[in-house]
């Protein structure tokens, strides 16, 4: 019997380190599987490692075809809920199970036993805060302390108002927001460009969106979003009022309750760290001309759009869209004339 590895880092090859660094730089979580104990005959030894991605791709060596299916299956579970696991792969199916170890049978004729520790290696999940309100500023100040990478987006936002944010974007235009899909978005506009903030949040593709507003105001704006053509299930999923019910009054208390709701969603496993970008029809044109101001607008992912007489029009901002919807014939006549 080979004892537990005293230094489980000894077999991390240069290629595996490079793979881990590439995934981390891209913000992609992965699972690290390490052999901590083995009984001959096995090809893997204590300290042997492999990286498993969320797609089930495996790189490294922790045993051949006998071990990999079990490792990939458990690695996906670990990436889903963040809890590490210790598994045992052995042909001895009749032995009593050890507490804390998940047993898997080995079908290979070669035999041998492997104990493999599988843990998640994740980057800090991105929290996108939309708004420049006192609640937004307070939330930015505390979110980084509990493990979030904080991005703030709002016209006029600056480092003075958000000294602890990792990134500041002075825009609400979806195509100008960070390309990486955030895991969590909190809209804390509080009366300033609420509609634009919510549409930018939906355009981000984030699986979790919370809105700091009263229940009545949230209901009104959700109806507006549905009338704008946003998918009802995405709109209904917006958490509003944001945060846990704790009698919060001050901006700092409200920010604390909002962050508590985000942490609860994160730790419950209900929210994936990353999400796919919203899909658009492949036949849609790449660019269009805003009929109000004449600017060229990229249609891919554009949120400011309206349909009139069976034709879809795109706009650079909400103001142009609203002007068009008040009197579309006026602007279409100007364009054609």
pTM of the model: 0.56
- Residues 168, 35: Cα–Cα separation, whole Å: 42
* Burial tier of 66 (Cβ tally within 10 Å: 0-12, 13-18, 19+): buried
- Segments of the chain with pLDDT less than 50: 1-11, 273-285, 336-337
What pLDDT is attached to residue 107?
A: 60
Q: How far is CA 257 from the centre of its chain?
A: 20
Position 42 scores a pLDDT of 67
Select from 3.40.350.10, 3.40.50.300, 3.40.50.720, 3.40.50.2300 the CATH code of 126-267: 3.40.50.720
Q: Do the beta carbons of residue 189 and residue 130 sit within 8 Å?
A: yes
Instruction: Give the pLDDT score at 149.
Output: 87
Q: Check if the beta carbon of residue 137 is closer than 8 Å to that of residue 260.
A: no
Q: Please write down the HEC assignment for all residues of 254-309.
A: HHHHHHHHHHHHHHCCCCCCCCCCCCCCCCCCCEEECCCCCCEEECCCCCCEEEEC
pLDDT given for residue 318 in this prediction: 77
Per-residue pLDDT, 177:
64
Domain range list for the chain: 14-121, 126-267, 287-336
């Amino acid at each position: 019997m080979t004892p537990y590895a005293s230094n489980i880092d000894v077999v991390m090859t240069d290629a595996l380190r490079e793979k881990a660094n590439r995934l981390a730089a891209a913000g992609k979580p992965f699972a690290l599987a390490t052999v901590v104990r083995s009984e001959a005959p096995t090809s893997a030894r204590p300290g042997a490692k492999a990286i498993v991605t969320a797609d089930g791709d495996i790189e490294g060596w922790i045993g051949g075809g006998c071990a990999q299916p079990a490792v990939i299956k458990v690695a996906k579970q670990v990436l889903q809920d963040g809890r590490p696991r210790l598994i045992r792969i052995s042909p001895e199916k009749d032995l009593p199970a050890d507490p804390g170890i998940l047993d898997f049978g080995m079908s290979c004729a070669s035999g041998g036993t492997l104990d493999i520790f599988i843990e998640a290696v994740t980057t800090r999940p991105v929290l996108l805060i939309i708004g420049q309100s006192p609640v937004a500023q307070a939330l930015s100040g505390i979110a980084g302390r509990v493990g979030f990478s904080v991005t703030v987006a709002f016209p006029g936002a600056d480092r003075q108002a958000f000294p602890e944010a990792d990134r500041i974007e002075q825009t609400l235009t979806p195509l100008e927001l960070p390309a990486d899909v955030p895991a969590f978005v909190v809209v804390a506009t509080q009366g300033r460009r609420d509609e634009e903030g919510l549409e930018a949040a939906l355009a981000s593709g984030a699986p979790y969106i919370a809105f700091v507003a009263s229940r009545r105001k949230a209901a009104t704006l959700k109806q507006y979003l549905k009338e704008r053509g946003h998918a009802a299930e995405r709109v209904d999923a917006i958490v509003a009022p944001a945060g846990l019910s704790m009698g919060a009054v001050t901006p700092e208390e409200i920010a604390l309750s909002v962050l508590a709701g985000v942490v609860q969603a994160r730790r419950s496993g209900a929210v994936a760290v990353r999400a796919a970008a919203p899909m658009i029809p492949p036949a849609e044109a790449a660019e269009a001309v805003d009929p109000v101001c004449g600017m060229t607008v990229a249609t891919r992912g554009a949120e400011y759009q309206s349909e009139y007489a069976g034709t879809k029009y795109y706009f650079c901002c909400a103001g142009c869209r609203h002007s068009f919807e008040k009197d579309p014939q006026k602007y279409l006549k100007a364009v054609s004339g």
